Amino acid sequence: MSLLRPERIEFKSPAQIRRMRASGLVTAAALAAVREAVVPGATGAAIDALAEASIRAAGAEPNFLGYEGYPASLCFSVNDVVVHGIPGPQAIRPGDVVSIDCGAVLDGWHSDAAITVGAGELDARSETLIEVTRQALWDGIAAFANATHVGAIGAAIEARVRAAEPSFGILREYVGHGIGSAMHMRPDVVNFAARERGPRVRPGMVLAIEPMVVERKIATSTDTDGWTVRTVDGGRAAHWEHTVARTEGGVWVLTEPDGGEAELAARGIQIAPA
Ligand code: MF3
Ligand code: CO
């Protein structure tokens, strides 16, 4: 039967969104803890252990660990690795671009967020790549606050990336997603302007918005570990992500400690907690 109609989008009540906020704050705290640890000489494995300890200390569980057999609590994607890199014993080097994607499940509610940071001093192009991707995420979140359809998010993300640096590429094979009682739910949230408008946006919709931007070509391959996704041309990548709720009055960024207040105020939008 499910083949005959698309799986439905899970809309959350205000009380459920508040429970998702508690989960989002656990993920935010884990990312804040690991961010400091991204320094030359540190290993992905050590940073993974920090995140897992932070999540468990908050009474939550890492939702990545064991997900389809995934072996860690975060994804650790360095330089040409775009997403789903597995943290290991290799030390970070000065100038590395490090994307860290992490999530938690608390009380049955999932959250998912990612940051990209440099280890030591970065070259100017890597700095630009990271900052453009971060701005594109916030433009996508701002679009979600006013959107009638999910497609507005990807359109805003693509517009920001194109305006900033036309040579950058936006991944099309990997997308954002609905989130709530599971990590990956309907609908897909593409990071480009699509022909379709996408599903209608309504209060109670919660999305993981996550632009993945590369220096040059968007072609990727997956390593034999079955997870690590890297660019074919060796270009570097950046990835930023937040779990964002659409409420009656606008949006609430569940994985940002201030709920998105500062970044959205800069775009003329007031946050709307549930
Ligand atoms: N945030 C990641 C995503 O949405 C989750 C990765 S699942 C894992 O793709 F198993 F790789 F951890
Ligand atoms: Co995600």
Model-level pTM? 0.97
Within 8 A by CB and 6+ apart from 195, the residues are: none
Ligand 1: residue whose CA is nearest its atom 8: 64
Residue spans of alpha helices (H) in the chain: 14-35, 44-57, 124-146, 151-164, 261-265
Show the tokens assigned to 273: 């907690």
Specify the residue with its C-alpha closest to ligand 1, atom 5. Answer: 64
Task: Confirm or reject: Cβ of 188 under 6 Å from ligand 1.
Answer: no
Q: List C-alpha distances in Å: 150 to 49, 141, 144, 206, 266.
A: 35, 11, 7, 11, 22
- Indicate if ligand 1 lies below 6 Å from the C-beta of 112: yes
Is 70 a pocket residue for ligand 1 (Cβ < 6 Å)?
yes
- The CATH code of the domain at 14-265 is 3.90.230.10
Q: Could you read off the pLDDT of 129-170 as tens digits, one per residue? A: 999 999 999 999 999 999 999 999 999 999 999 999 999 999
Residue among 172, 168, 141, 164 at smallest CA distance from 238: 168
Ligand 1 centre from 73 Cα, in Å? 10
Q: Which atom of ligand 1 is nearest to the CA of 68?
A: 10
Question: In whole angstroms, what is the distance from residue 238 CA to residue 216 CA?
Answer: 12
pLDDT at 3: 58
Cα(167) to centroid of ligand 1, in Å? 27
Does 215 sit in the ligand 1 pocket, CB within 6 Å? no
Report the nearest atom of ligand 1 relative to the CA of 67.
10
Rounded average pLDDT over 68-95: 98
Three-state DSSP class for 45?
Answer: helix
The model's confidence at residue 46, banded by pLDDT at 50, 70 and 90, is very high
pLDDT at position 192 over 50: yes
pLDDT for residue 1? 44
Q: How confident is the model at residue 5 (pLDDT cuts 50, 70, 90)?
A: low
48, 74, 84: which to mutate for ligand 1, most atoms within 8 A of CB? 84
Q: How far is CA 175 from the centre of its chain?
A: 10
> In this prediction, what percent of the chain has a pLDDT beyond 70?
98
For residue 100, which of 50, 140, 66 has the smallest C-alpha distance?
A: 50
CA 118 – ligand 1 centroid, Å: 21
For the chain, what are the domain ranges? Answer: 14-265
Q: Name the nearest CA neighbour of 74 among 116, 39, 21.
A: 116
Residue 6 has pLDDT above 80, yes or no: no
Residue 7, pLDDT > 90, answer: no
CA 90 to ligand 1 centroid distance, Å? 21
Counting from 1 in the atom list of ligand 1, the atom nearest the Cα of 70 is: 10
Closest residue by Cα to atom 7, ligand 1, is: 64
> What are the pLDDT digits (tens) for 9-45?
999 999 999 999 999 999 999 999 999 999 999 999 9
Residue 225's CB is within 10 A of a number of other CB atoms, namely 11
> What integer is the mean pLDDT of 55-77?
98
Cβ atoms of residues 62 and 101 within 8 Å:
no
Strand-pairing partners, residue 139, are none
68 sits in the region (left: phi over 0; alpha: psi -120 to 50; else beta) called left
CA 82 to chain centre: 12
* CA 202–ligand 1 middle distance (angstroms): 25
Task: Identify whether the C-beta of residue 229 lies closer than 8 Å to the C-beta of residue 81.
Answer: yes
Confidence of residue 221 (pLDDT cuts 50, 70, 90): very high
Atom of ligand 1 nearest to the CA of 184: 4
